[in-house]
Each structure stands twice: as C-alpha cells, then as structure tokens.
Amino acid sequence: MEASVVRTGTEGKAWGGGNEPLDASYGKMMMWFFIVSDALTFSGFLAAYGFSRFKYADIWPIADEVFNHFPFLHGVDAPMYYVALMTFILIFSSVTMVLAVDAGHHLNKAKVTFYMFLTIIGGLIFLGSQAWEWSNFIKGEYGAVSTTGGNILQFVDNEGHRVALSDFAIPEASERIVHEENEGIWFESGATLPTYSIEEVTAGFAANEDLYVRTGVLNEEGEKTILSRRESLQKLETEGIGVVEGANLTQNEYGPPLFADFFFFITGFHGFHVLSGVIINIIIFFNVIVGTYERRGNYEMVEKVGLYWHFVDLVWVFVFTFFYLV
C-alpha cells in the first residue's frame, strides 16, 4: 500500500487533508450548513408574514382574541397561557436534549438514554398541543359574516362582548339543500354549507336590539371598531354576503384569510420539523440503546441531532413572538 500513496508534501498543512477546518467534524459542519439554510427559509416565511401584516396593518386580527383557549377551561378567556405552556414544553425538551449531549461527552450510556427518552416525550407532547391549537383555530368560536369587500363583520353585545351566531340567528325553513352526488350525472360534491345562512343571521340581528357589528378595523386605541346600531344594520344589509365559521385556507372568521394561511403554513412547517426531529431522535435513541455509539467511542450523533432539535426550538421562539406577542 505504501508505494501507491502519493506524497504531496502538504501533510499537516491546511490543505493536506485529514484535519478539521474550523475545528468542526464533517458531520457537524454539514449540520450547520443545513441549519443556516433552513434558518433562511424560516426567515423568508416570517418576513413574508411581516409583509402581509404591514400591508393589512389596520385590519389584522388581535392574537389574544384568536388564541384564547385552554384545555378544560371551556369558555374562559385565557389568552397566551396555552402557547406559553407549549413554549415551556419545547424549551424543556431542549434542556433534556442538551443534557443528553452532555452525558454523551462523559460516555454515560444510561443517562443519554434517559434524557433522549424525555426529549422524545417532550416533542410528542408539543406536537399534540399544536394539533389541539389547530383544531380550535379551524373550528372557530363565534362565527362572522363576510362582506363584498372580502372583510369580516363580527357581532358584539352592548357591553362589547363577542356574541356567537348561534345565539341570535333565527333558523327558518329555507331552501338550503346540500346537493349530493346521486342528484346529477356530473356533480361530484358541493361546498359544505355553514350552520346558518346570511338571511338567518341578518334576520336575527335585526330582531335583536342590543347587538352591534364589530368591523376588523383597528381604532386609535388598537381595538376593533364597533359600529352604531344604525350603521350596523346598514352595513350588514348592504355588504354582508356570507357566513364564515372557523378558519381554513380561503376563509377566516378572525380577519384576513392571509392570517390563517400564514398560521397554517408557518406553524405547520415548524410542526413538520418537530415531527421529523422526533423521528430522528427515536432512531438515535434506539442506536444509543443497542450501543452503537458506545462501540464507536463517541456520541457525536447525539450532538448532531441535538443541534437540529435546538434549532427547532430556536425557530419556535420567533414564531411565538411574531404570531402571539407582537
């Protein structure tokens, strides 16, 4: 073998090979390449969210009014608490991850196993929480009326509290029929109808004297504008065209549909990262158990997956700020 090795005279020098540029191993360096590019992807999404938010600066929903649910506290207005809990869960799973990495430096297999396990559990709890948050957002709470201009009208009582459509709409015998496939040759499916029609909502609103329309427009104090009774009736008559319940990619009872689009896209993309992080963690976890890294003599794989996991936490810190706080 010796004869076939070409001596270049650069051994031990920077370009001689065999050394680690920037004192980082190949795997760790590649993980950092990935993280930096992924960070730019996320900042692209968040900056696009910022763009839309600045564009619709005065009709953007107030996050505290959208995300105000907490498990087992039904009907209680609890802004921020749930997302704060989610943030704690993710930070804590980041801590157990870094403890696993630390134990790996001491080649302590039992501790690495234990902390990796806690990290995986934390990740799974976070994913479950996010699913719950999504389902609340999709279901919606009060319902709203959409206007010809693509805006949203919500309803409040004389004390400014939100009122749900189901509290005042007058269900009438009407001609609303869900068309089904068996009724036509080419017909496959129609849009699902909301619980109430716009006529039923308008009739209920007219009959109920102490109801007011709240538009999406923010006033000087940063609160949504509430119209007078006369303006409310007129607005509903002339501009109301449909009923919106909950949020999806095309409609959103809280405000501009773009808000829902960005919420689904960014938290969804982040949740997908958490999911893949959990899967990678599980793979590494089993490798730790069967002793792969014990035999290898170092736990660098745990360190690399740890970098990814902390990055996911890092992204959540920004998502938390820009969706829930600012």
296 within 8 A of 109, measured Cβ to Cβ: no
> In which residue are the tokens 């069967």 written?
290
Residue 47 binds another protein (CB under 8 A): yes
Give the whole-angstrom CA distance, residue 213 versus residue 227: 6
Instruction: Write the DSSP symbol of residue 326.
Output: -
Residue 79 or 170 having the CB closest to another protein:
79
Give the whole-angstrom CA distance, residue 226 versus residue 245: 20
Give the whole-angstrom CA distance, residue 40 versus residue 43: 5
Q: Dig out the tokens for 324 from the structure.
A: 């829930």
Residue 298 binds another protein (CB under 8 A): yes
For strands 240-244 and 152-157, give the pairing. Answer: unpaired
For strands 224-226 and 144-147, give the pairing. Answer: unpaired
Residue 44 binds another protein (CB under 8 A): yes
Residue 244 binds another protein (CB under 8 A): no
Total residues at interface with another protein (CB under 8 A): 66
Residue 53 or 229 having the CB closest to another protein:
53
Residue 39 or 282 having the CB closest to another protein:
39
Shortest distance in whole angstroms from residue 91 CB to another protein: 5
In this chain, which stretch among 74-82, 161-169, 171-179, 225-233 interacts with another protein, using CB under 8 A?
74-82
Residue 105 binds another protein (CB under 8 A): yes
Shortest distance in whole angstroms from residue 263 CB to another protein: 17
Which residues in 113-172 contact another protein (CB under 8 A)?
147-149, 151
Question: What three-state secondary structure class fits 23?
Answer: helix
Burial (CB count within 10 angstroms: exposed 0-12, middle 13-18, buried 19+), residue 245: buried
Residue 310 binds another protein (CB under 8 A): yes
Residue 89 or 163 having the CB closest to another protein:
89
In this chain, which stretch among 18-26, 180-188, 223-231, 240-248 interacts with another protein, using CB under 8 A?
18-26
In this chain, which stretch among 97-105, 224-232, 258-266, 283-291 interacts with another protein, using CB under 8 A?
97-105
Angle at 176 between CA 174 and CA 178, to 5 degrees: 150
C-alpha distances out from residue 170 to 6, 238, 244, Å: 89, 19, 16
Nearest CA to 174 out of 160, 194, 155 is that of 194
Residue 249 binds another protein (CB under 8 A): no
- Using CB under 8 A, list all residues that contact another protein: 22-25, 28-29, 32, 35-36, 39-40, 43-44, 47-48, 50-58, 64, 79-81, 84, 87-88, 91-92, 94-95, 97-99, 101-102, 105-107, 147-149, 151, 222, 297-300, 303, 306-307, 310-311, 313-314, 317-318, 320-321, 324-326
